[in-house]
Each structure stands twice: as C-alpha cells, then as structure tokens.
Amino acid sequence: MEYVRLGSSGLSVSRICLGMMSYGDMPARKWQLDEDAAEPIVRRAVEAGVTFFDTADAYAQGTSEELSGRLLGRLFPRREDYILATKVYYPTGPGPNGQGLSRKHLMAAIDASLTRLGTDYIDLYQIHRFDPATPVEETMAALHDIVRAGKVRHVGASSMYAWQFAKAQYTAQAAGWTTFITMQSHYNLIYREEEREMIPQCLDQGVGVIPYSPLARGHLAGNRNRTGEQHTLRAASDALADSRFRAYADADFDVIDTLGAISREHGRPPAQIALAWLLTRPAVSAPIIGATKPRHIDDAIAALEVTLSEQDLHQLYAPYRSHPVLGHS
C-alpha cells in the first residue's frame, strides 16, 4: 500500500479509499451487503493496508454509518489507526430542517453521525452537495464551529460547480474559518468534465481530489455491454447508472473498448487499468472504490503496481467525448 497526504494538509491516507455505501440495510438496493457479508471484504482491505474509509449519513438510511463504525472498531486496535470520512446534506429525517447545510441541520447531523459511527470525532466531514438555499457564510461558520468543538478534524466538499467551491473557500479564508482540504468529484475514464475547471482549481489551491465512482458504476469493469446486456446484480438494478450514461453510451463504449484492448496488452482486468489511469491524474489523492467481492479489493490494490505508457494514456484519451455536467444534484 502507498500513503499520501490529502492535498496540502498534514493528513496521511492510504492511496485507496474504501467506500462504505455498498454496506447497510436497505432492501431496495439488492446489491448492498449486510454486516456479516461485508466484514470479510473490509477485513481484506484492512489487511492490505487500507486506512481510509468513506461513508455518508444518508447511505442506507444511516445504517451504513452504523455498520462502518462497528466493523472498523473491530478491525483496528485503535481509533487513531484509520481515517474516517462521512458526509452531510441529503435528507436524514422529515421536515425542511432534516436536510441541507443550515446551521440547525449541521449541528444535529454531526451529533447523529458520531452516535451512529460510535466515535468521538470524524477525520473528514464533507458537504455532500452545495446548498443554494443556505447562505454560504452560515454553512462555513457552522463547519468551523464543529471543528473548533473537536468533533471534526478536517472538512471537505463533494460534487459542485467550481465557482461554488471557490465561493465557499473564499468565504472561509476571508473570515479566518476552516477551509476544505478535499473535493470528492465524480471522475473516471468516461466522465472527465471535472478536468475543465474543478481539478485545475484544486491543483492551484492545494486541495486533494478523492474521486467517487472511479469505475463509472461498474461500466469500466465490464458489468454491461454496448447492446445493453447487464452482467451483474448491480448493473441490473442501478437506475442511476442508466440515467447518467445512457445518452452517451456509444461514445462511452468507444472508451471502454479501448480500455479492454489495453487491459489485454497488460494482461490485467479492465478495472485495474481504469484505476491505474485515475491514479496518474494530477491532484488525485485516493480514488474511492466500492467493493462487494474480495476481488474488487484485489483489483484496487493491484492497480497501484500498474505503469501506463504515454501511448497507453494517449489511446485512452482519444475516444472521449464531452458530457453534460453530471452528479451535482
């Protein structure tokens, strides 16, 4: 395992982050694993040296946080041995104050997350989306107060326009408040729109990028083909993947076909090559992988050993076609 610092902060994390959205109690998501099924997969990641774990209060109606807290508490001897990240924004209760980034919701949400996670503090507390209904000054002041209270060590953000991220950072800097050290972006071989503005901004400001959906919800691992056949339970029940990528399927599969050719040349699965590509990208600290099988962990770890040539990179870039902005809502 390799370890890097998150952006220009002093926080060190494993180069691979395990996303915990795949674990929880939500029957509607048939691909989600319960605690007993998740434990050997998370254990495998821990044994491989993964120390960075990401969840959210809205995942599986809070049960992802509960499960994450119990598993990590069993698998690590000390709380200081792992980096725990969670997120806030989406509804976690009824009524207009049960969501968003208002001071009221943030103050309630952090305490609820700490309780579910069974910990005294969170290493990285991220706003899951930008909240246009709340003044950015209110959000950044509340996050600063949460850090000052010792409940959170660092703050981060996820999926928004670069101007929104810049506005939040400037507001915090001007007031002397805590600023974001990370951006959790939707970024992979078939969705590269973050390269236009967000990633250059993060590079300029020393913000670490921790991409989610690095395999495009399984597209880059071969969970479906150009004719629409679905090869996994996740592919057959993932409406979000269909809505995000269906309109650009032909262009996306041109990239996927090239990925397949390069993976055959290297003698490795496409998932390893796709992750290896992401690990070469400027500003990327640690891709957030989802794993429902032990081999998903193995592929992620093996990707650290892959070296892509300039020719490989050029071939992977060539078929990409622009997409509309996705994932900011």
| Boundaries of every domain in the chain | 3-317
Indicate whether this model's pTM tops 0.85: yes
- Superfamily name and number for 3-317: NADP-dependent oxidoreductase domain (3.20.20.100)
Closest CA to 232 of 291, 297, 303, 300: 291
List the catalytic residue out of 59, 82, 89, 212.
Answer: 59
Confidence of residue 329 (pLDDT cuts 50, 70, 90): confident
Q: How many CB atoms lie within 10 A of CB 109?
A: 25
Residue 186 phi/psi, 5-degree rounding, is -80, 110
pLDDT digits (tens, 9 = 90+) for 224-256: 776 665 645 554 445 555 555 554 578 899 999
Which residue has better confidence, 242 or 324? Answer: 324
- Active-site residue flag, 59: yes
Q: In the predicted model, what is the mean pLDDT of residues 178-200?
A: 97
pLDDT digits (tens, 9 = 90+) for 86-142: 999 999 988 999 999 999 999 999 999 999 999 999 999 999 999 999 999 999 999
> Judging by beta carbons within 10 Å of its beta carbon (0-12, 13-18, 19+), is residue 315 exposed, middle or buried?
middle
